[in-house]
Amino acid sequence: MTTQKAHRTPLSVRAWFVIGLLSLSGQIAWGVENAWFNTFVFDTLTPNPRPIAWMVAISAITATITTLLMGTLSDRTFTRFGRRRPYILFGC
């Protein structure tokens, strides 16, 4: 029995730049939600912490479910761009 090693091409500088830019935008969105939006809701809309707790909980549940579903879907998808590139490009 012979095993074949998969040929992997290294990522270009441009690809690393795009991945880094998408990651940065995700971190900025997360920071805005957790730092500023919660404070805005508490100070402007209601002093009741329950809406903020619901918002954070729903956000965490949505992120968990989306990660599991999109990970499974990307494992089973084959496109001319590869398995995960379309999900990285359009998902972030």
Q: Would the pLDDT of 56 be above 60?
A: yes
Q: Could you tell me if residue 60 is inside a domain?
A: yes
The answer to whether residue 52 is domain-embedded is yes
Q: What pLDDT shows up at residue 3?
A: 59
> Which residues 6+ apart lie within 8 Å of 59 measured at CB?
33
- Residues in a beta bridge with 79: 82
Q: Which helix (H) or strand (E) holds 18?
A: helix 13-31
pLDDT in the model for residue 2:
57
Top pLDDT among 21 and 5 is at: 21
Per the model's pLDDT, the better-predicted residue between 68 and 34 turns out to be 68
Domain that holds residue 73: 17-91
Taking the C-alpha atoms of residue 88 and residue 15, their distance in angstroms, rounded to an integer, is 11
**Lookup result for tokens 């089973």:** 76
Q: What is the pLDDT of residues 29-45, one digit of tens each?
A: 888 877 888 888 888 98
Domains of the chain: total: 1
User: Is the model's pLDDT at 1 over the cut of 60?
Assistant: no
Q: Domain for residue 7, yes or no?
A: no
Query: 4 lies in a domain?
Result: no
* Spatial separation of the C-alpha atoms in residues 49 and 42, rounded to whole Å: 7
